[in-house]
Chains A and B, each alone.
Chain A
C-alpha cells in the first residue's frame, strides 16, 4: 500500500482506477482518460494533486535564500501573491526539480515541488537553507485540488461563495490567501484557465464533492499527462532530470541571467554551456501517420546523431501522436522515429500543441 491523499476514498467510490505514482496510490482514470481530457478542454475537470509537496518558507532572509536556490529570479516577484515557475539546479547545472514559488509577504514564500522528488528536494533545500536562517515548514496538513477548463473558475466561485470576492479579479499566475487556510492560485498544468486550490486536508472531500456538484468531472493522472503534453509543459523525471540542464530541456526561458552577479546554484556550469553553445534541445514532434509515439523511442535525423523521445503519447485534441524529444540543436523541421522497427516521418514543431482548447501547430 502506498501513501494516500485525503481524497483516496473519494476516488475509489467514484470508480477511480488506482495506480502507484511515486509511492502514492493515485487515480489513473475514472473510466476513460480521453473523455476526461476532452472535459477539461471543453468544460472543467478536477484533479487531486495533494500528493505534491507544499512548503512554506518564512523569515527575513527568505528572498535572499531563494535568489540563491532557484535558477529563476524571485526578484521578478514584486506584487504579493505573484507566482514564478523555476528549476532548482544542482552544482553541475542539472535539474533537481521544477517548482512553482509564490510570493506572499516579504517574509513568507510558498513553494510547491513534485511528489516523486519529495525526499531529495527536502534534503537539498534544508541543506542550502542552513546559512540563511529561514524557517521551512512542510504543509502536509493541506490538500491541493486543481480545477481546470473554460468553466473552472465559475464553478470554483460558486463553491467558494462569499470568499470568491477575493479571487474574481485574480490575475493569471497569482495566488490569493482566503480565510481558514485556503489558498487559491490561478495556475495549472493543463493549458486551460483554472485554479489550484490548497485547503486543510480535513475539508478536501467536502470541497471536492461541491465542485463535482457544479459539474466538474474528476480526472486522473492519465488525462493530466496528455493535457500537460499538449500544453507544452515538461514532466520532471521524463523531460529533464539531474543529468540535463534547463538549456537542454526547453527551459531556457526560466533561467534569469540578469543581474549577472546573482550567484544561483549551478550558474557557472550552465553559463559556460550557454557560451559554448548548447548541443541538444527539447522539441515537439507531431506525427501525421497512425500510431502512438512512446517514451524512449529513437529519433533519427539525417546527417546528425540521433535523439530520443522523452514524453510520447496520443493527443486527444489533435487526434494524432505528439511527443517531446531531446535532439541535436541543429535539427531541421522533420525527423524520423523508429517505431517498433518501422521508420516513421514526424514534423519537428515548437510546443505548445494546444492552448485554451485550440490547436496551435
Chain B
C-alpha cells in the first residue's frame, strides 16, 4: 500500500505539496506515482525563475516504462530545484516525500493551497483507481 503522509496536500495528478515555514511550497510526486512509473531514469526539472500557471506542465519524470508530465499544483515562481535528481533520479523511488522532492515555488496566492486534496481525499482517489 502506498504511503500518503497526513501533513501534505495532494493533486489528482499525483503531485504532493508541503508548505514550508517561510511560506514557500516544496513539490514532488507521490509514492503511488513512483510505484506506477517504476524505476525512474530521468528528471527534467523546471528552470529557476520561471513562473507557471496552476496546472501548467513544468517538469517531466521518465521511467524505464513511461514518461510523465509534472504539473504546477498552483501558480507561482520556481525558486529552487533539486539538482541531485539529474544524476540520481532513483532517489524519487526510494524517498518520494523526502530527498526526492523536485522543486520549490513561491506561490502567487497561498490561499490556492486550500483547494488541494488532503491525505484522506487523495487516499480515496488512489483507492478508486484500483
Contacts and interface: CB of A to CB of B under 8 A. Distances in A.
A314 B90 CA distance: 14
Contact of B38 (A222, A291, A316, A340): A222
B99 interface: no
Contact of B62 (A29, A33, A292): A292
Contacts of B62: 291-292, 314
Given A290-B44, A291-B62, A292-B62, A34 B67 contact: no
A317 interface: no
Given A32-B93, A34-B90, A291 B42 contact: yes
A339 to B, nearest CB: 9
A226 interface: yes
Q: How large is the interface on B (under 10, 10 to 19, 20 to 34, 35 or more residues)?
A: 10 to 19
Given A222-B65, A292-B62, A32 B42 contact: no
Interface in A289-306: 290-292, 294
Contacts, number: 36
A222 B93 CA distance: 16
B39 interface: yes
Interface string B23-40: 000000000000000110
Nearest to A29: B38
A340 B44 CA distance: 13
Given A29-B38, A32-B39, A33-B38, A340 B64 contact: no
Nearest to B40: A34
Interface in A313-341: 313-314, 316, 340
Given A32-B93, A34-B90, A226 B42 contact: no
* Chain A: interface size category: 10 to 19
Interface string A10-36: 000000000000000000110011100
A14 to B, nearest CB: 17
Contacts of A340: 67
A292 B44 contact: no
A313 B44 contact: no
B94 to A, nearest CB: 9
B64 A34 contact: yes
A290 B64 contact: no
Interface in A75-93: none
Given A290-B44, A292-B41, A33 B67 contact: no
Interface string B49-64: 0000000000000111
Contacts of A290: 42, 44
Nearest to B42: A290
Contacts of B65: 222
Interface string A124-139: 0000000000000000
A314 B41 contact: yes
Contacts of A33: 38-39, 64
A29 B93 CA distance: 14
Nearest to A33: B39
B130 to A, nearest CB: 13
Nearest to B44: A290
B20 to A, nearest CB: 29
A45 to B, nearest CB: 15
B38 A292 contact: no
A290 B41 CA distance: 9
A32 B34 CA distance: 11
A228 B44 CA distance: 27
A291 B93 CA distance: 18
Nearest to B43: A290
A292 B67 CA distance: 8
Nearest to B35: A17
5 contacts: A29-B38, A29-B39, A222-B38, A291-B42, A292-B42
Interface of B: 38-39, 41-42, 44, 62-65, 67, 90, 93
Interface of A: 28-29, 32-34, 222, 226, 290-292, 294, 313-314, 316, 340
Given A33-B38, A33-B39, A290-B42, 4 more contacts: A34-B41, A222-B39, A222-B65, A291-B42
For the complex of A and B, list the 8 residue pairs with the smallest distance between their C-beta atoms, beginning with the closest: A34-B39, A314-B41, A314-B64, A292-B62, A290-B42, A32-B39, A33-B39, A313-B64
